[in-house]
């Protein structure tokens, strides 16, 4: 993006011709579609967009792989779109999209319903939606590609292609659902003291061709047959993560739970870690010990937040005989603003005022691989 194209803040201006055209067509249709996107009128007192950051770059490859006269570009800037409702709450909400997307994914749901952007504004939050640098409306530095092609410096250059996220999912891996299977969904609720209605919607993408890989998980309700039976897993009341020695004392601000030791009984590729605890969760760490004795911390979450539970993607090949130790810490003190009662003992359980310690591992295996006994839990 050239400097003269970089707009610090956009201001929408309607010309008289556009206004006249709008008035003329307004009588032709009350609304241009059969299905409304918004659930109701959206009241705002301000809206707009702006760019954050950006640095100058001088290059001969702004528009082509053929070098030309030097031009100055602005790169790494980030586009931000915002709406502010009347009487907005004190703190704004900043939404950052995930990998492979842009901020537009927060404007609506895949089936055309109102998205998180307007829903947040409707709830009184000044909301800012970003396009991460190099994506969507932030603009992409194509001179980087042009120069790499022109100079032949392509070593380590990523193989770029255009495909959808569902295409990526079904091309290489997926969940295998055998014919005649029953699908059971486990939905976790916490009582709030008043009646409410939940409208859960679940979507599926069906692969057009058999995926080469399948994705299997270890997590509450999904352990069999990934986990080989052990004394520890047999005593699990509701998940492999259950440990009867788990007990957080009152007013303890840094409780280290009994660690979970996992042994991998086959060669595996670990592709996802999703630590799960409740409102007293403080930190989580996953450490692998390889058969040759090497130790590696593969995930460290020093500031766990129940309201922002993340799944961490990776590609970690673990040979048979590798071991993993998972450690969680908890804050049951008055300093924890989310703590419902620092004066009680806390044990493991389903409710948010109880606690959990679930490592939630995700594996990628060959389509026809036998996943029985992939791992065992020692304690």
286 is a domain residue: yes
Any domain includes 202: no
> Both 16 and 101 in a single domain?
yes
Residue 261 is part of a domain; what is its CATH number? Answer: 2.60.120.230
Residues 145 and 223 in one domain: no
- Count of structural domains within the chain: 2
Is residue 314 within 8 A of residue 273, CB to CB? The reply is yes
Q: Are residues 307 and 172 in the same domain?
A: yes
Asked if 337 and 370 sit in the same domain, the reply is yes
pLDDT at site 80: 96
Q: Say if 201 falls within a structural domain.
A: no
pLDDT at 289: 97
Spell out the per-residue pLDDT of the chain, length 379, in tens. Answer: 444 443 333 333 333 333 333 344 444 445 555 667 788 889 999 999 999 999 899 999 988 889 899 999 889 999 999 999 999 998 999 999 877 788 988 998 877 888 999 999 999 999 999 999 988 899 888 888 888 888 887 665 555 444 455 455 455 566 777 788 887 777 777 777 888 888 888 877 777 777 788 888 775 444 444 555 555 444 443 345 678 889 999 999 999 999 999 999 989 899 889 999 999 999 999 999 999 999 999 999 999 999 888 888 888 999 999 999 999 999 999 999 999 999 999 999 888 899 999 888 888 888 887 777 788 887 6
Q: Is residue 157 part of a domain?
A: no
pLDDT at position 5: 43
261 closest CA partner among 240, 291, 282, 292: 240
pLDDT of residue 246: 93
- Is residue 187 in some structural domain? no
- Rounded CA-CA distance 59/63 in Å is 10
The answer on 119 and 66 residing in a single domain is: yes
What does the alpha-carbon distance between residue 240 and residue 221 come to, in Å, rounded to a whole number? 9
* Phi, psi dihedrals of residue 271, rounded to the nearest 5°: -120, -10
Comparing CA positions, the residue from 143, 15, 21, 128 lying closest to residue 82 is 128
Cβ contacts of 66 within 8 Å, gap of 6 or more? 150
Q: Does 184 reside within a domain?
A: no
Co-location of 221 and 347 in the same domain? yes
Are the CB atoms for 60 and 151 separated by under 8 Å? Answer: no
110 and 13 both lie in a single domain: yes
pLDDT at 323: 95
pLDDT of amino acid 369: 78
The whole-number pLDDT of residue 22 equals: 38
159 in any annotated domain: no
Distance CA 334, CA 252 (A): 9
CA distances from 273 to 17, 217, 219 (A): 55, 10, 10
Range of the domain at 68: 3-151
Q: Give the pLDDT score at 236.
A: 42
Q: What is the CATH number of the domain that holds 35?
A: 3.40.50.1820
pLDDT of residue 6: 39
């Amino acid at each position: 993006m050239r400097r003269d194209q970089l707009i610090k803040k956009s201001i929408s201006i309607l010309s008289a011709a556009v206004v006249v055209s709008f008035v003329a067509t307004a009588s032709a249709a009350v609304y241009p579609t059969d299905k409304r996107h918004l659930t109701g009128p959206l009241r705002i007192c301000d809206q707009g967009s702006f760019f954050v950051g950006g640095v100058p770059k001088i290059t001969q490859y702004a528009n082509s792989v053929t070098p030309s006269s030097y031009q100055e570009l602005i790169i790494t800037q980030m586009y931000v779109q915002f709406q502010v409702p009347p009487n907005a709450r004190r703190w704004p909400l900043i939404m950052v999209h995930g990998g492979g997307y842009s901020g537009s994914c927060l404007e609506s749901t895949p089936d055309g319903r109102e998205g998180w952007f307007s829903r947040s504004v409707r709830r009184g939050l000044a909301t800012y939606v970003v396009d991460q640098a190099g994506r969507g409306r932030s603009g992409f530095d194509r001179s980087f590609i042009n120069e790499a092609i022109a100079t032949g410096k392509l070593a380590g250059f990523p193989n770029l292609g255009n495909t959808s996220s569902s295409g990526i999912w079904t091309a290489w891996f997926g969940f295998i659902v055998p014919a005649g299977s029953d699908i059971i969904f486990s939905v976790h609720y916490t009582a709030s003291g008043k009646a409410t209605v939940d409208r859960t919607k679940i979507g599926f993408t069906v692969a057009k061709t058999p995926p080469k890989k399948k994705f299997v998980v270890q997590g509450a309700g999904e352990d069999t047959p990934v986990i080989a039976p052990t004394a520890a897993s047999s005593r699990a009341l509701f998940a492999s993560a259950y440990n009867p020695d788990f007990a957080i004392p009152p007013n303890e601000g840094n409780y280290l739970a009994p660690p979970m030791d996992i042994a991998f009984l086959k060669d595996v590729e670990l592709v996802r870690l999703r630590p799960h605890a409740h409102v007293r969760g403080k930190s989580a760490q996953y450490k692998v010990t390889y058969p040759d004795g090497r130790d590696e911390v593969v995930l460290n979450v020093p500031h766990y937040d129940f309201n922002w539970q993340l799944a961490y993607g990776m590609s970690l090949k673990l040979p048979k005989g590798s071991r993993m130790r998972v450690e969680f810490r908890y804050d049951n003190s008055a300093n924890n603003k989310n703590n419902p009662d620092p004066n009680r003992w806390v044990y493991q359980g389903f409710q948010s005022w109880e606690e959990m310690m679930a490592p939630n591992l995700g594996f990628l295996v060959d389509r026809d691989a036998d996943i029985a006994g992939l791992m065992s839990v020692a304690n």
